[in-house]
A and B are shown apart, each in its own frame.
Chain A
């Protein structure tokens, strides 16, 4: 029972973490809550269904399931990154020097737009992702499906890759520098615009991967799925300390676990209350989040 809830929580938590990374990276650099990020996750899931459908029709799936899954993943991530990049260029870049609440409004506008764009083009009905990678095994009296393992492993791999990217590559270093001090970074010859674009591209790609995996896991997607997921992922990002990458990962996992255990042991009706409740509690005792540093205000 406890083990089962633990596994349930970890699965959901690792997807929250993937989406939360996008929030946290954008926030770290732009100080912007990118409310459209949840919609990118939704777009990614839709693209997954669409591309997988195309491959199935083409007969690729029948020939090699693994190849078609990998191709679907790559295409969907590339496409979603392109969406993220475009959104940044259209909706956020012109507002770089605007009052700070203005980009928040464009983010919401983009979010409403994308939801309706997908609804109108793909229909309002739920889309079904065919069951693949079925089967699983039991540990004690808990059931673990292969997909759950797949989700957890992929998430960890992606996060490790991101970590390496941020710490080891040139552009990763530029990202950190920009997050720390934009003006200084640009004085040192870093093209801040490119760094911001890269941030959106990477964050969107991760969200799309999360969306794809959710589509595979639950087998059901709809055009409004990004809203709740985005809200939860944002919560996870703040929980871990917004702007902090390991924090977002930790926040996602903690949030998933709290939800699963709270819903399992106390009441499933109040599932979301536990998620937001734990957030409020953590912030009250450690206002900068679990891993965020408590910076003193500069006077």
Chain B
């Protein structure tokens, strides 16, 4: 039977191919370089976020290298692409381990960060995510896992407070995009307003969909004072636009996923009056002015998560510097002690690895621009 003989040859083939790509690099770390990694959706349908992240981290590394690197060595950036697929995230994590990175910035999606964090934790590599807001990530109580962004529960709570205390809305409709991020946000918001504000509608949409008229028609029948949306800017922008087209006057409120130019471009004039919870204005923090200027010069306007990635990379490099070592455990310890003043304001971590201060303030679209309206 020829089949059986192929089988053996095949195994040989497999054998040949595997070491070929496996042992190509990273066998022993080059002595004069410190490697840090960053991983996220560099290709695929969320690559816009991945590219922003990569640019932010790159900028931080370039700046440090100009100042002479860290621990007297040049910093080398290793970029990994997980295509927001959990399986690939684990592969990338293993590749990072192989490449001998001293620390990680990323991943972006919570569904990737969670499985990848297990690998980094096993290998004692510190990981600072710039965009995974799912509470579960740090609830694992891994010692070397941090995040510079907030948690969905903090953000939802902040939004709920605003709706109850300041906007004094009587009724809200809640929508979300059925992702870890969007749904988490919407659920936390609902918890915050439950009992005090009437929820007229609560429903999910499909991320990537363009037509939300069916759900919005239902929202319209409830006639709410405000629409809360858990999700990111493409859907958010379309929601405002389509709700206005259907004659809904209620303003939209959302999380950090809608902050940025993109949302304004998509929603156009209809964006006016939209609320969002987000970190304090980068442009108003003196120390961040430099970041915005250099970033814009090199890569165009910063995306919503570019700053987070940039800050995360800076904290990681500071950690390495403070620990005076490339050893993961020491770096993690150093990061826990850090009080970092930078583009996102002052950042300190609690024992879980979350930022201590709730970093959220309220923003609103005024005159076609995002403006910070609360402290």
- Contact surface of A with B, Cβ cutoff 8 Å: 1, 4-5, 8, 12, 116, 119, 123-126, 128, 131, 136, 138, 143, 145, 214, 218-220, 222-225, 228, 259-264, 267-269, 271-272
Contact = CB atoms under 8 A, between A and B. Distances in A.
Contacts of B218: 264, 268
A79 to B, nearest CB: 22
Contact of B266 (A116, A128, A136): A128
B209 A219 contact: no
Given A126-B234, A222-B234, A272-B206, 20 more contacts: A1-B217, A8-B213, A8-B214, A126-B266, A128-B266, A218-B241, A219-B238, A219-B266, A219-B268, A224-B45, A228-B209, A259-B214, A260-B214, A263-B215, A268-B203, A268-B215, A268-B218, A269-B178, A269-B204, A271-B209
Given A143-B247, A271-B209, A264 B48 contact: no
A268 B177 CA distance: 10
A145 B247 CA distance: 11
Given A214-B210, A218-B210, A263-B215, A143 B246 contact: yes
A131 B271 CA distance: 13
A128 B265 contact: yes
A19 B237 CA distance: 25
A58 B309 CA distance: 38
Interface in B176-223: 178, 203-206, 208-215, 217-218, 221
Contact of A220 (B48, B203, B234, B246): B234
A150 to B, nearest CB: 14
B183 to A, nearest CB: 10
A116 B83 CA distance: 13
A5 B219 CA distance: 13
Given A116-B43, A131-B268, A269-B203, A220 B245 contact: no
B51 interface: yes
18 contacts: A1-B217, A8-B213, A119-B43, A124-B47, A124-B48, A124-B50, A126-B266, A128-B265, A128-B266, A143-B247, A145-B245, A214-B210, A220-B237, A222-B45, A260-B214, A263-B214, A268-B203, A271-B214
Nearest to B248: A143
Q: Chain B CB within 10 Å — which of A5, A125, A218, A272 has the most?
A: A125
A268 B266 contact: no
B85 interface: no
A131 B178 CA distance: 28
A283 B43 CA distance: 37
Nearest to A264: B214
Given A1-B221, A126-B48, A143-B246, A220 B238 contact: yes
Contacts of A128: 265-266
A212 B149 CA distance: 38
B208 A224 contact: yes
B48 A8 contact: no
B63 interface: no
B262 interface: yes
* A-B CB proximity, top 10 nearest: A263-B214, A269-B204, A124-B47, A268-B215, A8-B213, A224-B45, A264-B214, A124-B48, A128-B265, A125-B48
A140 B234 CA distance: 30
Interface of B: 43-45, 47-48, 50-51, 178, 203-206, 208-215, 217-218, 221, 233-234, 237-238, 241, 245-247, 262, 265-266, 268
Nearest to B49: A124
B352 to A, nearest CB: 31
Contact of B217 (A5, A145, A222, A223): A5
Given A1-B217, A269-B205, A12 B211 contact: yes
A267 B245 contact: no
Contacts of B48: 123-126
Nearest to A268: B215
A228 B246 CA distance: 24
B246 A4 contact: yes
Contacts of B204: 268-269
Nearest to B51: A124
Contacts of A136: 245
Nearest to B233: A126
Nearest to A256: B211
B230 to A, nearest CB: 13
Contacts of B211: 8, 12, 218
A52 B208 CA distance: 24
A143 B209 CA distance: 21
Nearest to B265: A128
B331 to A, nearest CB: 31
Nearest to B263: A126
Contacts of B50: 124
Nearest to B201: A268
Contacts of B210: 214, 218, 220, 225
A267 B214 CA distance: 9
A128 to B, nearest CB: 4
A260 B221 CA distance: 16
B209 A4 contact: no
A139 B247 CA distance: 13
A225 B262 CA distance: 17
Instruction: Output the residue of A8, A138, A262 with the most chain B CB within 10 A.
Output: A8
Contacts of B205: 268-269
A233 B141 CA distance: 46
B241 A219 contact: yes
